[in-house]
Amino acid sequence: MLDTGLLLVVILASLSVMLLVSLWQQKIRGRLPPGPTPLPFIGNYLQLNTKDVYSSITQLSERYGPVFTIHLGPRRVVVLYGYDAVKEALVDQAEEFSGRGEQATYNTLFKGYGVAFSSGERAKQLRRLSIATLRDFGVGKRGVEERILEEAGYLIKMLQGTCGAPIDPTIYLSKTVSNVISSIVFGERFDYEDTEFLSLLQMMGQMNRFAASPTGQLYDMFHSVMKYLPGPQQQIIKVTQKLEDFMIEKVRQNHSTLDPNSPRNFIDSFLIRMQEEKNGNSEFHMKNLVMTTLSLFFAGSETVSSTLRYGFLLLMKHPDVEAKVHEEIEQVIGRNRQPQYEDHMKMPYTQAVINEIQRFSNLAPLGIPRRIIKNTTFRGFFLPKGTDVFPILGSLMTDPKFFPSPKDFDPQNFLDDKGQLKKNAAFLPFSTGKRFCLGDGLAKMELFLLLTTILQNFRFKFPMKLEDINESPKPLGFTRIIPKYTMSFMPI
């Protein structure tokens, strides 16, 4: 028998040969973008700062240019850095870059189903139905605006109940924003203390935290091995099953009272489409319904609540900015009515502040991975079908060509010389091209209505000195997280 040392040598030698053969085959077929030389199996893992992958990517772009290749474990990824490269790929060659790339933590749940994590014809059909259904239920219209304002009213009552005591606003915002998407998907809101609702939020938060953790990064790179090993990933696998079971039960409840002539919510509309298309090749089936509703919850909950939470911190750090927003609210809305979304057209400074909060926070700088759906030539490089792509949206938000002082919080980035709102081509918080976030209209409406409603009723107070406020997001693997803090909501 071979001893352990010799066996290890044989395994490493075999992996090296496999890697060399793979690289040789790629060069025969075409030319990949340049990048650091990967090691067998672990790829470029040792060359990345796993605590701050975005910074590592930025440093590599300075050496290899706006299009380069890295290996995350055995997985080859092409990175697009900067506005020009991202736009050329996601807009000019949108079809070739329209697949959904690997995200092992979330793929454990979605497995290629649902609107967010599918590719090809499945993604196209689910996206068309989702956009049309969301529009039918008022996204971008007065209907969903009323749902947001109703939920904002509950939030104001909760915050008034704190009586100005310092609190962590995280759970308050999570409950509010999640209830908005719940009203669209389920047709009803949850009581804020509902155990079912709190369990759903807890499970989604658990998955998001794991995905951003060092173990989650390792799982993304080496999931083919780690899914069989003990560790935190095993708990996440159990959580994914609980989430699926939760949504299956919600669908079952809807189905038992379904009226095909009167859809009440997103689930009803999908069930009706399932009844209309019962052929075996249809993408409108139970698995895609369950995973699409879960996709909407993940997309519609975390992003908006995190952006608002960061926004509160930034406004406390910059009281002059908060004061100007209060002044604009007084001038346009006053105190005798609720804000309306159409007010944002008359409130350029407030909208510029919201845009700058999104830009400065840059909470998901690596974006959501794409995948090449057919052999493609891009900027003279050959990208084989199945290659994963990281469009680094964060590189757009910090490009000095578009934002003169990208490390400073400055709403003037979105205002012209006359104080009117101006567009910035590099401001793409919801991505672009064929796979841009289908909830962008809802998110924009939520951010404006919730922030203005809160500031119409409260001023923010930080329990310590302003200089003690750490406004810089903390790097954590592939993402950036908001520093923990407490604050007081002081009634006006």
Residues 253 and 113: their CA atoms lie apart, in Å, by 21
End-to-end CA distance of the chain: 79
**Cβ contact 366:53 at 8 Å:** yes
Q: Which amino acid is at 386?
A: G
Which residues fall within 8 angstroms of residue 461, CB to CB, at 6 or more apart? 164, 316, 487, 488, 489, 490
Nearest Cα neighbor of 110 from 233, 210, 241 is 241
Which residues fall within 8 angstroms of residue 245, CB to CB, at 6 or more apart? none
Question: 75-81 and 388-392 as β-strands: parallel, antiparallel, unpaired?
Answer: parallel
Task: Say which DSSP state 79 is in.
Answer: E
- For residue 437, say whether it is annotated as part of any ligand binding site: yes
Provide the 10 A C-beta neighbour count for residue 199: 13
Q: What is the DSSP string of 389-430?
A: EEEEHHHHHT-TTTSSSTTS--GGGGB-TTS-B---TT--TT
Residues 429 and 272: their CA atoms lie apart, in Å, by 33
In SS3 terms, 188-240 reads as: CCCCCCCHHHHHHHHHHHHHHHHHHCHHHHHHHHHHHHHCCCCCHHHHHHHHH
Question: 458-461 and 99-100 as β-strands: parallel, antiparallel, unpaired?
Answer: unpaired
Residue bearing tokens 């919600």? 250
Q: Which amino acid is at 396?
A: L
Which residues fall within 8 angstroms of residue 1, CB to CB, at 6 or more apart? none
Which residues fall within 8 angstroms of residue 357, CB to CB, at 6 or more apart? 307, 310, 311, 314
Residues 350 and 356: their CA atoms lie apart, in Å, by 10
Q: Which residues are annotated as a binding site?
A: 437
Annotated binding site for heme: 437
